[in-house]
Each structure stands twice: as structure tokens, then as C-alpha cells.
Structure 1
């Protein structure tokens, strides 16, 4: 019989439970909603209350925090952290090693370069626009 839940222990000793997503085998916490057509690399995590839309791609080592939303067809590169309650629009592309703060809004179709840091509360509306706090 296959295991339904995987348990992961943090450095502080807290144990979290995750199920594996059918497309890519990424970790999905109870209460997270991930579309069946989304791809989650086997080393990616989606936390409770987060949502990942159809045909989205979540790269290796990326972490989607609680309450965040990743839109339809969005691309999240490797080792990206998407903060709590962030909203990544449909078709947006986040380069590898980026850090997206909590409550950030990235509009549909926007591109965030690799290694970029977007401060909490920022809004990215147009290409080449410097993110601004809300």
C-alpha cells in the first residue's frame, strides 16, 4: 500500500504533513489547492491555503507560502520563495532564485528576473516598472 502523506520535520522539530502532487510529485499541504494540470517539481512545496492554477509550473526547490495564489500558466523558476498572500498573475514568469515578499501583487504576464527581490506589499504592474509598495 502506497503512503498518502509524507511527513517533513523542520529544524525546530515541528512536523508538517504533505501529499505528493500527481504531476511532478511536489509536496502539497492539506488545505492547499493545486490544479491537476499544474507541474510541481518533486522538490517544491505548496503550503496550506495556497492556490496553484491550471498549467502553472513550479520549479525545483521553490516554496509557495500560505495563502499565495499562482495564476493559470504562470512559471516559477527554481529556488523561488513566494511569500504569504502574494498574488502571481496568469502567465507571469518568476526567474530562479527570486524572493517575492508577502502580500505582493505581480500582474498577469509580468516577468521578474532571476535573483530579484520584491519587497512585501509591492505591486508590479508593468514591465520595467520598479516595484512600489502598496
Structure 2
């Protein structure tokens, strides 16, 4: 009797075969070199790519894609079908809306909320500026005329 494999293999853009395992909390696919805390939740059909880090209590939505070397902070929430680009940083308790795209090397500050379907450009930074009210989340459309900090 053949034993069932507990992983799935994909070839990356450079033709390198990458092995993805099911995360025990949610069943999403995590590449072998990625680090995902056991307290994080990775929804089915979500992908965590090589070198990415997902910290405790983070929630990765269904169909979301966490790209190579991205970091997801403790308690952050990534919406369904959202994409966090390569080497991007999503800080603790930030919320990324459904289908939102965070560009490569972008930085989303603590408690910032990126609304559904929004696009944060590559290298862009969004920080909460209101230090008197740390619980306040920022909802800002990011577009061509937006500043580098909300």
C-alpha cells in the first residue's frame, strides 16, 4: 500500500521545485522554508511562499497569497484573495481587505486598515499618524495623489 504524501510540489518562476505543506491550523499551503506560527490561521487555498514569516494570531484569508520573504505581524488579518507582495511588511494588528494588493517592499503600519480591492504600490508606506488614539484604524484609498503616509 502506498503512503499518501503530506505535501504538494510546484515549480517556481525559475524552474525550482518548491514543496508546500498544509498548515495544521486551517490547512493552507506553506512552503517548506516559510515560518508560520502554530497560533496563526492559514485558510484553505491560501499560499505562503518561500522565506515568508507569519506570526502568532495572524489570520490569512481564503485564497490569499503571501509572497516570498513577506512578513505578517502578530494579530494581522489578511482578507480573502488578497496579495501581499515580496518582502512587504504588514505590521501587528493591521487589516488588509478582501482582494487588496500590497506591493513588493511596501510597509503597512500597526493597526492600519487597507480597504477591500485597494492597491498599495511597490515600496509605499502607510503609518498611523494619530498617536493619541492607538485603537483608531486608518481607511485611506491609495491612489496616484496619495501621500506616503496616512
Compute the TM-score of the two structures, normalised by the length of structure 2.
0.81
Aligned-pair Cα RMSD in Å: 2.0
Deviations 1:48-93 (A, max 9, x none): 1000000100001100001100000000000001000000000000
Where does residue 79 of structure 2 map in the other structure?
Answer: 77
Q: Distance in 2 between matches of 1:100 and 1:6?
A: 26
Deviations 1:5-28 (A, max 9, x none): 212467998753200000000000
Q: Which runs of 5+ in 1 are unaligned?
A: none
The worse-fitting range, judged by mean Cα deviation, of 9-18 and 62-71 is 9-18
Picking from 28, 31, 34, the partner of 1:29 is 31
The structure that is strand-richer by fraction is: 1
Compute the TM-score of the two structures, normalised by the length of structure 1.
0.90
Where does residue 110 of structure 1 map in the other structure?
Answer: 112
Q: Which runs of 5+ in 2 are unaligned?
A: 129-137, 141-145
Where does residue 119 of structure 1 map in the other structure?
Answer: 121
Q: Distance in 1 between matches of 2:147 and 2:42?
A: 27
